[in-house]
Homo-oligomer: A and B are copies of this chain.
Amino acid sequence: MKSLLFHEIHQKSRLSIKEVNDALKEFELYSSQWSILFCLKQFGAMTQKEIWQYLNVEAPTVTRTIARLEESGWVFREEGHDKRARIVHLTPFAEQNSPEIEKRIQHVEEEMVSSLSEEEQDQLLSLLKKIGQ
């Protein structure tokens, strides 16, 4: 029964988002917001297009989430050389706080997979990657 597989993926996706949201509560952030901050932390300032391509979501999703991050002071947007594009930067506040948040999230994620060995984690990742290719 293949449905079980996708049912399980769906469940675990929701579960992990829930746990991450819970851990982010004290920073007044949500998981999707963190995914963008994480992205910027890793690669530096990016255009919105680069962000949604990396995260593999649609452009409007990123527009919305960045708007919220901007309102709450985590990012700011600069007009690019190409005036259509907007380059997103972390604010100093975000630069300062993101290491602690990252540590917290990493801990949550490690807890969630603690019942799997390192080898099983690798295996799981590589099996997931094979889906839909």
Residues of A within 8 A of B (CB): 2-17, 19-20, 35, 38, 56-57, 105-106, 109-110, 112-113, 115-116, 120-121, 123-125, 127-133
Contacts and interface: CB of A to CB of B under 8 A. Distances in A.
Contacts of A15: 131-132
Copies in the complex: 2
B128 A115 contact: no
Q: What is the interface of chain A mostly: helix, strand, loop, or mixed?
A: helix
B127 A5 contact: no
Contact of A132 (B6, B12, B56): B12
A3 B15 CA distance: 14
Nearest to A133: B115
B16 A10 contact: yes
